Amino acid sequence: MSEARSPGLAIDRRRYRRVRRFFLGVALHIGWWDLFLNLPALRFLRRDPLPRWRRLAHEYRELAVEMGGVLIKLGQYLSTRVDVLPLEVTRALSGLQDEVPEEPFEAIAQSIEEDLGRPLGEVFETVNPKALGAASLA
């Protein structure tokens, strides 16, 4: 099977497009509501920005939980930035600090075995499938 037709690559492309579409939407949102409508002649069209930012934060949180990885880490970091982001945004993202569902052990074991090129039992004497904790920002 060629690399262009492999199922894993197709999934990666869908994930990439979904993340790209979200961030493009955020950029357009900022460009329209916070830059263009901030021009003196158009300010009368502006509305309260907090509901829009809250909605974007909730959408990002859902995307981060679904996609995982670096999106969760970015959301965790942004949730700590009360100095730059509205409180509504940091509150919406704060759930990424400790409410992220854990990854099933089977998926973790499979990933490790693929990276190592052999079964876990050949590399480690014992492996405890129960999570001891979760990684987070310090």
- Cα separation, 92 vs 3, whole angstroms: 39
CA distances for 133 relative to 66, 100, 136, angstroms: 20, 12, 9
- Cα separation, 39 vs 43, whole angstroms: 6
- Cα separation, 118 vs 106, whole angstroms: 15
Q: Which two tokens stand for residue 112?
A: 């490790």
- Cα separation, 102 vs 64, whole angstroms: 13
Tell me what the mean pLDDT of segment 65-73 comes to: 85
Summarised one tens digit per residue, pLDDT across range 117-132 is 988 888 888 888 887 6
- What is the residue-wise DSSP string for 23-60? HHHHHHHIIIIIIGGGSGGGGGG---HHHHHHHHHHHH
Report whether pLDDT(14) > 60: yes
Q: Hey, is 58 helix, strand or coil?
A: helix
Q: How confident is the model at residue 1 (pLDDT cuts 50, 70, 90)?
A: very low
Tell me what the mean pLDDT of segment 95-112 comes to: 81
Tell me what the mean pLDDT of segment 34-50 comes to: 71
Proportion of the chain above pLDDT 70, given as a percent? 79
Q: Hey, is 72 helix, strand or coil?
A: helix
Report CA 87 to chain centroid distance, whole Å: 19
Report whether pLDDT(69) > 50: yes
- Cα separation, 9 vs 29, whole angstroms: 30
- Cα separation, 92 vs 58, whole angstroms: 6
